[in-house]
Amino acid sequence: MASLLTGQLINYSDLVREAGVTAATAQRFVNYLDMSYQTLQLQPWTRNKVKRLTKSAKLHYLDPGIQRAIIGKRGGMSGNEYESAIVAEIFKQARNLNFSCTFYHLRTVDGREIDLLIETEKGYIAIEIKMSGRIERTDARHIDGLSGILDKPLVKSFILSNDNAVKSLEEG
């Protein structure tokens, strides 16, 4: 089902059409995947007073192998699969350590997107996930100015990638 691909916004209209079920059944099905720890519905961050944000949850499979088996995929990971694997690992580690935080994704209508926004008591940690083997300053463009949107301080921001070099792209 294309509507339940990992690392993408959940589109219930497409899911209803593809699966031939009611909207309530589709939502229940996705909730069952969450309850059985197969997926994580990464809710959108929506406290923006300007209301410029996407309001759809993003689906991440917690086990990339299960997701690939479901869709019968072989070969290398796609960018969305890579993103989901990173989100899943951070989510599992935070839960294992009893780290008090809430996970979101952020997407504005003008195209700014933060793959993982972690809310802590002190503020937010923004994580941009890139499968690329080489990170440049332009890869941080969605993080630029992010603190002006958020309702708490941006404590730290990261780009996680396949780049072997650790780089400081700017202060913070």
Residue-wise pLDDT for 14-65, tens only, equals 888 888 999 899 899 999 999 999 999 999 998 754 554 567 889 999 988 8
Q: What is the pLDDT of residue 64?
A: 83
pTM here is: 0.86
Residue-wise pLDDT for 94-106, tens only, equals 999 999 999 999 9
DSSP 63-79: -HHHHHHHHT--SSPPH
CA distances from 41 to 101, 119, 144, 146 (A): 15, 16, 26, 22
Cβ count within 10 A of residue 138: 8
46-54: which pairs have CB atoms within 8 A and are 24 or more residues apart? Answer: 47/151, 48/149, 52/108, 52/109, 52/110, 53/106, 53/107, 53/108, 53/109, 54/9, 54/107, 54/108, 54/109
